[in-house]
Structures are given as C-alpha cells and as structure tokens.
Amino acid sequence: MAEGTIRLLLLSSGELLMARLRTTTDGDGQPAYQLIRPRRVLSCDSEAEGFTLTPFLSGLTPQSNLVLFKHAVASVLEPDGLLLQAYATQTSQECPLEETPVERLKRAFQEFTESFED
C-alpha cells in the first residue's frame, strides 16, 4: 500500500477533495500536504448516488499530484466507507478495509500486549 492515508479534505476555499495525504514541506521548509491523485467531491442531484468524484486539476495540468500549504486546508476528515471505496476504485489505489470498533479494540489490545513481549 502506498504511503499516506486517504482522507477527505475541506479546503479554506470551500472545495471538498479526496486524496491520499502525506505530510511534507514546501520549498521553504514550511509544513505542507502532498495530495496524491486528488478528486473533487461533488454532490449529485439524485439521492440515489449522493456524490461524484472528478479529477481535481483535469484539463489544467497533466500532473496528478500536488502540494498544498497547510493553511489552505481548513479540515482533514475521515471519509465515509462508500466514498472511500469509490475513490479507491477510481484511482486504482489500495485502501484499508474499514474496521469495526471491536476490531480496532482487538488490534489495540494486541499491540499493547506485544509491547510487553519485546
């Protein structure tokens, strides 16, 4: 799986994007986010679909990744499972399966007990 986590981003401009997110720095060493294969999240008119994902800078540049200053991002959110699946399918990226609360608790307990074994 590629480095970074797939997240829903609310930009300061009001745009909603979905991308694999990595923390990085810009050319001056300031904190920034690298967005891998960003997609614009648009709501649909029909209730059945709910949303569509479109390539973010399509037609403007051949680049598929970009770096944003952290102040350009208003919020980083965890996406809904269906949105995550749609993004992973469209961008041909692996995405982690969503864990249930019980699975997260089991994993946390296992990691905790393994820390004593070392």
Tell me: the pLDDT tens digits for 29-87?
Answer: 888 999 998 999 988 765 556 788 988 988 888 888 889 998 899 999 988 888 888 88
Main-chain phi, psi angles of 65, to 5 degrees? -125, 155
User: What is residue 109's predicted lDDT score, i.e. its pLDDT?
Assistant: 80
pLDDT at 72: 92
User: 75: buried, middle or exposed (CB in 10 Å: 19+, 13-18, 0-12)?
Assistant: exposed
Beta-strand ranges (E) seen in 56-112 are 65-69, 73-77
Written as six digits, the tokens of 95 are 């995405």
Query: What confidence category does residue 8 fall into, taking pLDDT thresholds of 50, 70 and 90?
Result: very high
Determine contact, residues 57/19, Cβ cutoff 8 Å.
no
d(CA 55, CA 17): 9
| pTM score | 0.68
Greater pLDDT, 118 or 115: 115
**What does the pLDDT look like over 101-110, one tens digit per residue?**
666 677 778 7
Mean pLDDT rounded to a whole number for the chain: 81
Q: What is the pLDDT of residue 1?
A: 37
Q: Which residues contact 46 (CB under 8 A, 6 or more apart)?
A: none
Specify the pLDDT at position 59.
86
